[in-house]
Amino acid sequence: MGAGIVECDVTFTKDGELVCRHAECDLHTTTNIVATELNNSCSVPYSGQGSSPSCCASDLTLAQFKSLKGKMDASNPSASNAVDYLGGTANWRTDLYTGRGTLLTLRESIALNRRLGVKHTPELKSGDPARIEQVFGGQANYAQKMIDEFKRAGVKPKDVWPQSFNLGDVLYWVRNEPQYGKQAVYLDDIDSSANPPIPRLTVEELRQSHAQGVRIFAPPIPALLAVDAFDEIVPSQYALDINAADLDIITWTFERSDLRRGAAAGGFYYAFDPAGRAVKKDSDMYEALDVLAREVGILGIFSDWPATVTYYANCMGFE
């Protein structure tokens, strides 16, 4: 689909191996674990209808983790058995590969990306601090181990954009692995819909991040856009403030939700247009993408379906 950089969300097994998973504890909805004997190894095993399992990569050894099969992230909590619990996929997604997905280590994902000729943007996921301390001896060692995998594979720093929502991780890379740290991405978890709301960084906090060595800042799409009085999509004040702080911008995530009924029903990623005044159908997001690219001036954008962004970039002459 034309993506030039591919992400591995990095978490860990209980024997200290780094693996690709969206969160430390998501195996019950992203793999077949609850329908296997390894369900008994889960922090909270699946126990039948109405139960709320929690199965973590850190509950398993690497060998156990690799024995699982990946699937679309979904579940059916009202199911009466483990096999049916593994359903629940939204009707606009797919179960085409359910039960056949291959789980990857970070090391394997690096090798796969290199074989496919794409670059790397690993995200160090947060985890249980007690388990991180037990397995790695602290957060800094966890952050270092991720970089060590790229050094071990001989990947050039210019081909890696390490990411974290934890400013401490980003500053650790800036100070201790400066070649890799210069492209470190500070992810912004701003979310006005959270309870309590997660606020934007202030102008002073943005400037301070730059002064500490952060060069790339990554808020979600809705934080960077707004709809004006003429129902036109425009850069948000936050986007203008980030640019004024001399921070480059990467944003997330395009093609993340069902937009067939427009932004009004699209959820978090389209919260810049809650009434659907500008985005009435999925193709209207090309307008949003154009504002992000030409007016906000983003470096790049994460997408769950890169073909759309690739088509736009090719038409407009962007790399």
CATH of the domain at 243: 3.20.20.190
> Which of 102, 121, 144 finishes a domain?
102
Neighbouring-strand partners of residue 102: 69
Supply the pLDDT for residue 93: 84
Burial per residue of 14-33, b for 16 or more beta-carbon CB atoms within 10 angstroms, e otherwise? bebbbbbbebbbbbbbbbbb
Is the same domain home to 86 and 133?
A: no
Residue 8 lies in a domain: no
> Which of 87, 102, 117 finishes a domain?
102
Structural domains of the chain, count: 2
Residue 161 lies in a domain: yes
Q: Of 239, 139, 141, 250, give the one whose Cα is nearest residue 185.
A: 250
CA distance 61 to 13: 6
Is the same domain home to 73 and 198?
A: no
Residue ranges for the chain with pLDDT beneath 70: none
Residue 107 lies in a domain: no
Residue 71, CA distances (Å) to 22, 31, 94, 237, 247 in order: 12, 5, 10, 39, 37
Supply the pLDDT for residue 97: 74
DSSP 160: B
Q: What is the pTM of this model?
A: 0.96
> Which of 84, 102, 120 finishes a domain?
102
Alpha carbon 100 to its chain's center: 22
Is the same domain home to 171 and 283?
A: yes
The beta-carbon contacts of 310-318 under 8 Å, at least 24 apart in sequence, are: 310/1, 310/2, 310/3, 312/286, 313/2, 314/2, 316/290, 318/293
CA distance 6 to 159: 11
CA distance 276 to 310: 25
Q: Which two tokens stand for residue 87?
A: 């359903």
Residue 146 lies in a domain: yes
Is the same domain home to 202 and 249?
A: yes
Q: Which two tokens stand for residue 24?
A: 């430390």
Beta strands, E only, the chain: 5-12, 18-20, 69-70, 101-102, 119-124, 163-164, 185-187, 216-218, 225-227, 233-235, 248-254, 300-303
Residue 119 lies in a domain: no
**What residues make up the domain containing 178?**
129-316
Is the same domain home to 280 and 236?
A: yes
Is the same domain home to 134 and 94?
A: no
Burial per residue of 276-291, b for 16 or more beta-carbon CB atoms within 10 angstroms, e otherwise? bbbbeebebbeebbeb
Is the same domain home to 148 and 263?
A: yes
- 239, 206 Cβ separation under 8 angstroms: no
- 210, 246 Cβ separation under 8 angstroms: yes
Residue 5 lies in a domain: no
Is the same domain home to 216 and 158?
A: yes
Is the same domain home to 148 and 269?
A: yes
Residue 164 lies in a domain: yes
Is the same domain home to 170 and 308?
A: yes
Is the same domain home to 95 and 174?
A: no
Is the same domain home to 137 and 285?
A: yes
Supply the pLDDT for residue 95: 84
CA distance 142 to 255: 31
Residue 133 lies in a domain: yes
CA distance 287 to 233: 7
